[in-house]
Structure 1
Amino acid sequence: MAIFLRGKDCLLSRLKSITRFQRFNYTLDEGGFQAKYKFNREMGFASNSKNSHIGHEADTSKWKKIDARKFGITRDMIPSPSLVVLKILRNNGFEAYLVGGCVRDLLLQRIPKDFDVVTTAELKQIKKKFNRSHIIGKRFPICVVHIKGSAVEVSSFETVANNAKANEDVFKSPLCDEKDFIRWRNSTQRDFTINSLFYDPFSNKIYDYTNGMSDLRSLKLRTLIPAHLSFKEDCARILRGLRIAARLHLSFSKDTERAMCDLSSSIEGLDKFRLMLEMNYMMSYGAAESSICLLQRFNLLEILLPFHAAYLDQQKSAQNSVMLMKLLSNLDKLLSCEQPADSSLW
Structure 2
Amino acid sequence: MALIHLLFFVARILRAVRIAARLEFRFSKDTARYVKNLSGSVSRLDKTRIMMEMNYMLAYGSAEASLRLLWKFGLLEILLPIQASYFVQNGFRRRDTRSNMLLSLFSRLDKLVAPDKPCHSSLWVGMLAFHKALSDNPRDPMVVATFCLAVHNGGDTSEAVKIAKRITKPHDKSYHELLEPQLLDSRALVNEVMNLSASVKQELSRMTDEYYVSKAMAKYPKAPYSDMVFIPLALYLRVRRIFECVGEGKERGFVAKQGRKINHELLSIGSLHEVRHTFARVVFDTVYPLNQKY
Structure of higher CA gyration radius: 1
Q: TM-score range by the shorter chain?
A: 0.3 to 0.5
Q: Which structure exhibits the higher relative contact order, with contacts defined as CA atoms closer than 8 Å and separated by 6 or more residues? A: 2
Task: Normalising by structure 2, report the TM-score.
Answer: 0.37
More helix by share: 2
Alignment TM-score, normalising by the size of structure 1:
0.32
